[in-house]
Amino acid sequence: MTEPPPPPSHDEGAERIEGIERRWAMVGIGVLLVLVVVAAFAGIHQAAMPQSRVEIVDPLRLHLSGEFIDSNLGSAVEPDGSVTVRAIGQEYSFTPSCILVPRDTPITFRATSADVVHGFLIDGTDINLMLVPGYISSLRARFETLGERYMPCHEFCGTGHEGMWGRIKVVDKAVFAQMAAGAKRVSCVK
């Protein structure tokens, strides 16, 4: 391979290279700034933000006291009409394994793990959380379409991980209200 001839060495050449490079760097920075601003806008304006506070809970005492006792798991109707869903992940299932929520209603998910790290994902939505033992994960959401979706654990949690699938059913508001009437907490059985 032949050595290329040395290029003309004028300072204007160097200046030109620098000018072109600077312009490109500015374009790059500009693009990235736009991306950051869009993300910030979406975060604040559409409330698509992760939970702001760190909340802790003792995984050994979940079933003894506090908001994650067995009788409090599932969907609860709040005084303001919104619904809070509480769930636990453990090797290798969710409790409740089938979550029931009404359509067009503000939903708050609150979930944690009883043993190792689990994942909490609802297919076809942006609902995506890690369940880390010792901490409470929470997320606000709203469902606009009826039907049933899968809710797999998406974090390796042991050799039974592949069998850890839950489900979530979105039902009409009226149907939900009927099921929730009289019951303290609701979930679907199958």
Partner 1 sequence: MILAHFWLAFAGFGAALPLGAWQMYIRSPLHGWISDPEWYYRSVTAHGTTMAYVFPTLVAMGFGYFVAEAALQRPLIGLRWAWLGFALVVIGTVTAIIPVALGLASVLYTFYPPMIGNPFYYIGVVLVVVGSWIWVALMGINMQRWKRDNPGTPVPFPMFATVAGAYLWGWTAVGAALELLFQIIPAALGLSRTIDAGLARVFFSWTLHAIVYFWLMPTYIAYYTILPRAIGGRLYSDAMGRLSFILFLVVAMPIGVHHLFADPEVGSGFKFLHSVFTALVALPTLLTVFTICASVEIAGRLRGGKGVLGWLAALPWRNPVMLGAALSFVMLGFGGAGGLINMSYQLDSTIHNTQWVTGHFHLIFGGAIVIMYFVIAYDLWPHLTGRSLDSLGLMRAQLWTWFVGMIVLTFPWHYVGILGMPRRMAFYDYSDPVIAAQAASVTMSVIGAAILVVSGALFFLVLARGHAAPRTAPPAYRFSVAVRPPRALPAALNGFGLWLGLMIALTLVNYGFPIAHLLATPGTAVPTVNVGALR
Kindly state the tokens that stand for 79.
């005084």
From 19, 48, 78, 178, residue interacting with partner 1 (rule: CB under 8 A): 48
Of residues 73 and 164, the one with the C-beta less far from partner 1:
164
Give least dist CB 172 to partner 1, A. 21
Q: How far is the CB of 164 from partner 1 (least distance, A)?
A: 9
Our finding on whether 15 is near partner 1 (CB under 8 A) is no
Distances (CA, A) of 37 to 32, 43, 45, 139, 189: 9, 10, 12, 22, 44
Nearest approach, Cβ of 117 to partner 1 (angstroms)? 6
To partner 1, the closest distance from the beta carbon of 47 in angstroms equals 10
Non-local (6+) Cβ contacts of 13 within 8 A are: 7
Residues numbered 146-175 forming contacts with partner 1, rule: CB under 8 A? 150, 152-162
Query: Which CB sits closer to partner 1, 25 or 183?
Result: 25
Q: For residues 188 and 190, what is the distance between their CA atoms, to the nearest angstrom?
A: 6
Separation CA 24–CA 22 (nearest Å): 5
Q: Which of positions 121-140 make contact with partner 1 (CB under 8 A)?
A: 121-124, 126-138
Q: Enter the DSSP assignment of 52.
A: S
